[in-house]
Structure 1
Amino acid sequence: MRELLPLLRPHRRPLIGAGALSLVAAAGALAQPALVARVIEAVGAGRALLPAVLALVVVLVASSALGALQQYLLQRTAEGVVLSTRRTVADRLLRLPVAEYDRRRTGDLMSRVGSDTTLLRATVTSGVVDMVGSVVVGVGALIAMALVDIWLLLVTVGSVSVGLAVVVSVARGVRRLSRQAQEEVGAMSAAVERALSAVRTIRASGATGREVEVVGASAGRAYEAGVRVARLEALVSPAGSIAVQGAFLAVLGLGGYRVAAGSIPVADLVAFILYLFLLVMPLAQAIGAWTQLQTGLGALARIQEVLALAPEDDARPERGGAVVPVPAPPAAGEPLLELDGVTFAYPDGTEVLRDVSLTVPAGSRVALVGPSGAGKSTVLALVEGFYPLTGGAIRWAGTDVRDLPRAALRARLGYVEQEAPVLAGSLRDNLLLAAPEASDPELWAVLADVGLTDVVQRSPRGLDVPVGDDGVLLSGGERQRLAIARSLLSRPALLLLDEPTASLDARNEGLLRRTLAAASADRSLLVVAHRLSTVLDSDQIVVLDGGRVVARGTHDELVESSPLYRELAAAQLLV
C-alpha cells in the first residue's frame, strides 16, 4: 500500500471527491430502511403516508444520482491513474542504463506498460474507494442493527464472520498468484516480440510452425497461471453465499420468534432485514474490491520492480559531484579523445577489454580493426557511456568523461551502430531524430552526401516517404546510409562509426568513403571496420585482438610490422 499511495497522490482531489460522494450515498442508503419503517408505522397507526413516502422517494433518487456521479468520477480518475502510471513507467523504461536492456526481454518490459498498468484501472482505484464506501455502509448498518435488536445482530455477526474468515485466508494467496500470472503474460509478450522481430528469418528457415508452438506454449503457461488465480478467487463466492444465506435464515427464524413473542414489532424486523441487505451488499462489494486490490497489487509489484531501477541521469556526471562543462574540441592535432588503460568486463565476469590505450587527435581519422570478438564495438559503446568502465579512464579534451554530463557529451558525438536501426515512420522523422531543428535544404544536402536522394525522388511524398517498421521498406545499404546521414546532421565533433560499409555495395562504399573524407575535414572519426578498404587512408589504424591493442600505425606500416593485420589485409586482397 505504501507503494500504491505515490501513484494515487496526484489524483487525491478527485479521489477525495469520489470518497465524499460515496459517503453521502452511503448515508442515503442507511436512511432508507428507517424511512421504510416509518411508512409501515404510519400505515399501522393510520397516519398520513404522503410525507413519509415523499421522504423515502427523495432519499432514494438523490442517493442513486450521487452514486452515478461517484462512479463516473471514479472511472475518470481511474483512467487518469493508468495514464500517469504508464507515462511514469515508460519514462523510466526509456531512461534505464543500457546494461538493463541486455539483461531483460523487450516483450516483458512492454507488458509492464500495457497489461500491468491496465490492472490498476479497476482493481486499485475502484478497490480503494469501493472499500471505503463499503466499510462506511457496513459499519452504519451494524450500528443501526444494534439499535433495532442486539440478539439479531449477534446471530448475523456470527454467521457472516465464518465467511469472512474464509475470504481473508483465500485473499492472501491471490496477490502472489496474480503476480505469477502477470509474469507469464510478460513472458508470452516477449515470445511474440521475439518471433515478430525476426519473422522473415523464421519464414525463410521454415521455422514458422516451431515458433507458433513456442508462443503457444508460453500462452498456455499464462493460461494455467490465470486459471490458478481464478480457482482461488472462485472460493470467495461460495463462502460469501453460505454466510449470507445462513444470516438470512437465522434472522428470519429468530426474528419471527421474537415478533410472535411480542419482543419486537414487525416494523423493526422489516427494518432489520433491510439493514441486513445493506450489510450484505457492501460486504460482497468489499470482498470483491479486496480481491481486486490483491490482483492489482500483484501487478503493482511488477511496476515497482521497474520504477525501483535507477535511471541513467543524462544531466549529471557518472561519478556525481559538480557538473563540469564539456570542453570545446582542441586545435587540430591535439588529443580529442583518449583511452588510457581501459578495462571492461560484463557483470558476469566476462572480460572484453584489457588495458586498451589509444588517442584520437582532433581532425583525424582513427580506425579500429581486428577479428570478430576483439572488442572493437565495445570501445564505441564505452565512449558513448553505455556501460561503466571496469578500470582505466576515457578523457575528452583532457577531462575524464565520468565528470561530464552524459547528455552534453553525447551532443558532441555522432554514433552509427552496426545494425543501423531505423525507426518506424517517415524518412524525415528519422533524419530529425538528432537534429529536430534541421531545415529541408539541410536534409536534402545530407541525403545527397550519403547517396540517398533517389529514395526521396522515387516517391511523390518526398521526405515524408514511409520507411516501414524497423526500416523494412529500405534496403540494408539504405538503412545504413540513413543512419549515417542522421548522425552527420547533428554536426558532431567526433563521429563514431561501427561497420559503416557492412551493408553497402562497391559503388556506394566508394561514395561513402568520399563522404567520410569530406566529413573528416571538420570533425574527427573513430571507425570500426572489417572491410579494410574503408580505412586504408586513416591517419592511424589500431589493431585489437582478444581485447588488447596488439599493433598501431598506418596501413603500410602495419603490413610490415603486424602479422595479424597482414593476414587480414591478405584475406581481402589488399597486399
Structure 2
Amino acid sequence: MSAAPSVETPRTCPGGHSRTGGDPVGVRSGHRALAAHLHRQRGRMAVGVGLGLAGSVMGLAQPLAAKRVMDGMSRGQPEAWPVVVLSLLVVAGALLVGLGHYVLQWSSESMVYTARRRLTERLLRLRVPVVERTEPGDLIARVTSDTALLRQAVPQAVSAAVTGTLVTAATVVMMGLLDAVLLCVTLAVVAVVGVIVAVVAPRIGRATRHTQESVGQIGAALERVFGAFRTVKASGAERREAAALHRTAEEARRTGVRAAAWEAVSATASAVVVQVSFLVVLGVGGARVTSGAISVSTLVAFLLYLFALAPRIGQLAEGVGQFQVCSAAAVRIEHIERLEVEQLEAEPVREREATHAKAASECGGPPVGVAFHEVCFAYRPGLPRVHHEVTFSVPPRGLTAFVGPSGAGKTTVFSLIERFYEPAAGRVLLDGEDVRRWPLTRLRASIGYVEQDVPVLAGTLRDNLTLGTVEPGDEELARVLRMARLDTLTDRLPHGLDTDVGHRGSRLSGGERQRVAIARALLRRPRLLLLDEATSQLDAANEAALRDTITETALDTTVLVVAHRLSTVTSADRIVVMEAGRVRAVGTHAQLMECDALYGELARTQLLGR
C-alpha cells in the first residue's frame, strides 16, 4: 500500500488551470465573413447573375422599340415589326430573368447546405470546455436560423449588387442619350436615396444582429427547460419559466421591430423618391416638349426608362439592407468557426473511415496501464484547482476503484484520460505514453466510458447500443445484452432493438439507461473501461449481476470504477482514495480499513459520500 500524507504542502502547480478554448477575438467584419460564404458558390452565382443580366439588358431595348413605334405613328406610317420585336424581347427577357433567379436560388440553397454541414461538423469537434461555457440553444440557433438568413444573400443582395448596379448604370446611359437635362433632374432627386441608404444600412445590420442574438437566447432558454422538464413540472415552475421565455421573446420582438423600422425607412424613402422623380421629370419633360426641345416619343421613352429604373433603385436599397442582414448572420456563424476544436488527424474521408475501422478492430486488444504523474488541473482560470499533483499508477488488467468525498476529483480522472480536458501540469500516461501523443481516434476507440448521468440519445435502442462502433453481429450483440442484463428488456419491447427510446431515453427507467450505457461500452471491446457510478440506479439483483460482469471483464481488461457503494469496491484489486484533489492512499479494502481513517469512515457509511 502507498499513501500520500494529507498534510503535505504541495509544490505550486504552474498555471493553476487547464488550457481551454476561449471566445474568439478579432472576428472578421460581416462583409468579409459573408464574402467567404459567397466565394464557395461563385461559379453558380456567375451563371445566375449572367442570365439575369442578359434578361435585363433585353429590357433596355423595349423603350427604344416603343419610341420607334410612336415615331412611325406620328408620320402616319405605322410598322408592325417593332411591335413583334418588342413582344419577343419581353418574353425572352422574362424567361432569362426567371432562369437566372432559379440558378441564384439554387446557389443560395447550396450555400446554406455547405454552411450547415461545416458548422455541424465543427460543433461535434468542439472541445468540451468550450461547449460547457456556451449556451447549446444559441449554438443551435446559429446553425438553423442564422444560416437560413444566408439564403437571402444570393438572390437579393448579390443580384442587386451586380445586376442592379450594371443595369442601373446602363439605364442611366440610355436616359442620357435621350435627354441629358431630364437625366440631371432625375439623378438629383435619386441622390437622396443614396444618402438615406448610407445612413440606414448600418442600423439595419446592428438591429438584425441583436435580433438574432435574442433568437439564440430563446433557443438556450428552451433547451434549459426541456433539459429538466420533469423538474420544472414537479416544482410548479411552468409560469415562472414561461415568464422568462416571454421576456426573451419580447426582446427578440423589440429588436426585430427596430430592424423592420429601419428597413421600412429605406423602402419608403426609395418609393417616395421614385414617385417624386417621376412627377418632376413629367413636369420638366412636358415643358421641353412644349418648347420643341424634345419630341413626345422621346419623353415617353425616357419615362419608360424611369419606370424601369424605379424598381432597380428599390432593389439596390433592399439589397443593401439584405446584405447587412446577411452580414450580421455571417458574423455569428463566423463566431462558431473560430471556437476551439479538437485537432483530429487530417485525413481524407475514406482514409478517416479506414482509421476508424482499424481503431475499432484494435478493440479487445491487450489492456492498457494507466498512470498519473503529478497532475495539476482546474476547470477554468480563476477557479480552485481540482487536482493537486495527483499521482498513482494502475497496471494492465484488474479492477481499480476510486473513492472519496464529493469534489475529491474522481470523475475528473476519467475526463483527463479521455482528453476532454488537458492538465495544466504533470502527465497522464496510457501504456507509458502521454495521452496527448495518442491520436484521439485511436485513444477513444480503446476506451469504453460510462458517464455518471448515463445519457441516452433519441432514436432506437439499437442506435444507442451501436453508437460509434462498427455494426456488430447478432451473436456479439446478444452476448453483450445478456452481460448487461438487457435481454429481458428487449424481449418485452414492442419492436425489440428497433424500439424508439424517446428524447434522452425518456421511455427507459434510470436503471435501464445505465444498463444501455454499460452494454454500449462493452460492445466496443475496450482495452480500458471507465465506469463512473455505473450501477448507482440498479436494484440489488441487477447490481449483483453486473458486478459479476464487471469482475469478469476485469480479467482481461483494465477497469477503473468511481463508486459510492461498498459492495462495488470490496472485491477491487486496488482502491485509490482521493480527498480534496489529492491521492490520499492506495491499497486493498482490507489494507485501507486498517491504515486509512477516511476510507474506514466511508466504508462504515457504505461509501455514500457524494
TM-score range, shorter chain: over 0.9
User: In structure 2, what is the Cα distance between the partners aligned to 1:316 and 1:124?
Assistant: 32
User: In structure 2, what is the Cα distance between the partners aligned to 1:199 and 1:370?
Assistant: 31
**Contact 1:163/1:239 (8 A) holds in 2:** yes
**Contact 1:131/1:286 (8 A) holds in 2:** yes
Q: Which residue pairs with 1:195 in the alignment?
A: 225
Q: Which moved more, 1:528-537 or 1:143-152?
A: 528-537
Q: Which residue pairs with 2:259 in the alignment?
A: 229
Is residue 254 of structure 1 aligned with residue 287 of structure 2? Answer: no
Cα deviation per residue 1:167-213 (whole Å; 9 max; x = unaligned)?
A: 21001111111111100000011111111121111111111111111
Find the residue that maps to 1:549 and give its secondary structure: strand
2:514 to 464, 480, 492: 480
Find the residue that maps to 1:235 and give its secondary structure: helix
Q: Which residue pairs with 1:156 in the alignment?
A: 186
Q: Which residue pairs with 1:344 in the alignment?
A: 377
Structure 2 residue identity aligned to 1:345:
A
**Contact 2:267/2:318 (8 A) holds in 1:** no
Displacement of 1:233? 1.5
2:422 to 370, 388, 392: 388
1:454 to 478, 485, 488: 488
Is residue 40 of structure 1 aligned with residue 70 of structure 2? Answer: yes
Q: Which residue pairs with 1:12 in the alignment?
A: 42
Q: Which residue pairs with 1:320 in the alignment?
A: none
Displacement of 1:335? 7.0
Q: Which residue pairs with 2:168 in the alignment?
A: 138
1:372 to 379, 385, 406: 406
Is residue 89 of structure 1 aligned with residue 119 of structure 2? Answer: yes
- Within a 5 Å distance, the mapping from 1:11-410 to structure 2 comes to 11-315=41-345, 336-350=369-383, 351-410=385-444
Find the residue that maps to 2:453 and give its secondary structure: coil
Find the residue that maps to 1:17 and give its secondary structure: helix
Q: What stretches of structure 2 of length at least 5 have no aligned partner?
A: 1-30, 348-354
Is residue 503 of structure 1 aligned with residue 561 of structure 2? Answer: no
**Contact 1:337/1:396 (8 A) holds in 2:** yes
User: In structure 2, what is the Cα distance between the partners aligned to 1:569 and 1:397?
Assistant: 32
Q: What stretches of structure 1 of length at least 5 have no aligned partner?
A: 318-322
Find the residue that maps to 2:240 and give its secondary structure: helix
Displacement of 1:125? 4.6
1:421 to 455, 460, 481: 455
User: In structure 2, what is the Cα distance between the partners aligned to 1:95 and 1:258?
Assistant: 70
Displacement of 1:66? 1.0
User: In structure 1, what is the Cα distance between the partners aligned to 2:159 and 2:494?
Assistant: 55
User: In structure 1, what is the Cα distance between the partners aligned to 2:414 and 2:563?
Assistant: 12
The alignment-based identity, stated in percent, is 43
Displacement of 1:237? 2.3
Q: Which residue pairs with 2:498 in the alignment?
A: 464
Change (3 A) 1:295 1:124: farther
**Contact 2:373/2:428 (8 A) holds in 1:** yes
Cα deviation per residue 1:100-127 (whole Å; 9 max; x = unaligned)?
A: 1111011111001111111111235531
Q: Which moved more, 1:181-190 or 1:276-285?
A: 276-285
Structure 2 residue identity aligned to 1:280:
A
Q: Which residue pairs with 2:10 in the alignment?
A: none
Q: Name segments (4+ residues, structure 1) moved above 6 Å.
A: 328-332
Q: Which moved more, 1:429-438 or 1:281-290?
A: 429-438
Cα deviation per residue 1:401-454 (whole Å; 9 max; x = unaligned)?
A: 111211111111111100001111111111111323201221111011011111
**Contact 1:329/1:397 (8 A) holds in 2:** no
User: In structure 1, what is the Cα distance between the partners aligned to 2:467 and 2:401?
Assistant: 26
**Contact 1:152/1:255 (8 A) holds in 2:** yes
User: In structure 2, what is the Cα distance between the partners aligned to 1:329 and 1:144?
Assistant: 75
1:542 to 564, 568, 576: 576
User: In structure 1, what is the Cα distance between the partners aligned to 2:527 and 2:364?
Assistant: 10
**Contact 1:367/1:526 (8 A) holds in 2:** yes
Cα deviation per residue 1:213-250 (whole Å; 9 max; x = unaligned)?
A: 11111111111111111122121123212321221121
Structure 2 residue identity aligned to 1:2:
R
User: In structure 1, what is the Cα distance between the partners aligned to 2:445 and 2:177?
Assistant: 74
Find the residue that maps to 2:525 and give its secondary structure: coil
Q: Which residue pairs with 2:352 in the alignment?
A: none
What TM-score does the superposition give when structure 2 sets the normalisation length?
A: 0.90
Find the residue that maps to 2:162 and give its secondary structure: helix
Structure 2 residue identity aligned to 1:349:
G
What TM-score does the superposition give when structure 1 sets the normalisation length?
A: 0.95
**Contact 2:363/2:445 (8 A) holds in 1:** no
The alignment yields a C-alpha RMSD, in angstroms, of: 2.0
Structure 1 residue identity aligned to 2:127:
P
Displacement of 1:364? 1.7
Find the residue that maps to 1:115 and give its secondary structure: helix
Q: Which residue pairs with 1:432 in the alignment?
A: 466
User: In structure 1, what is the Cα distance between the partners aligned to 2:175 and 2:363?
Assistant: 82
Displacement of 1:47? 2.5
Is residue 529 of structure 1 aligned with residue 563 of structure 2? Answer: yes
User: In structure 1, what is the Cα distance between the partners aligned to 2:45 and 2:153?
Assistant: 14
**Contact 1:137/1:278 (8 A) holds in 2:** no
User: In structure 2, what is the Cα distance between the partners aligned to 1:331 and 1:411?
Assistant: 11
**Contact 1:329/1:336 (8 A) holds in 2:** no
Q: Which residue pairs with 2:8 in the alignment?
A: none
Find the residue that maps to 1:418 and give its secondary structure: coil
Find the residue that maps to 2:559 and give its secondary structure: strand
Q: Which moved more, 1:21-30 or 1:10-19?
A: 10-19
**Contact 1:330/1:336 (8 A) holds in 2:** no
The aligned length equals 566
Cα deviation per residue 1:435-490 (whole Å; 9 max; x = unaligned)?
A: 23201221111011011111100024121122111011111001001001001111
Displacement of 1:345? 1.1
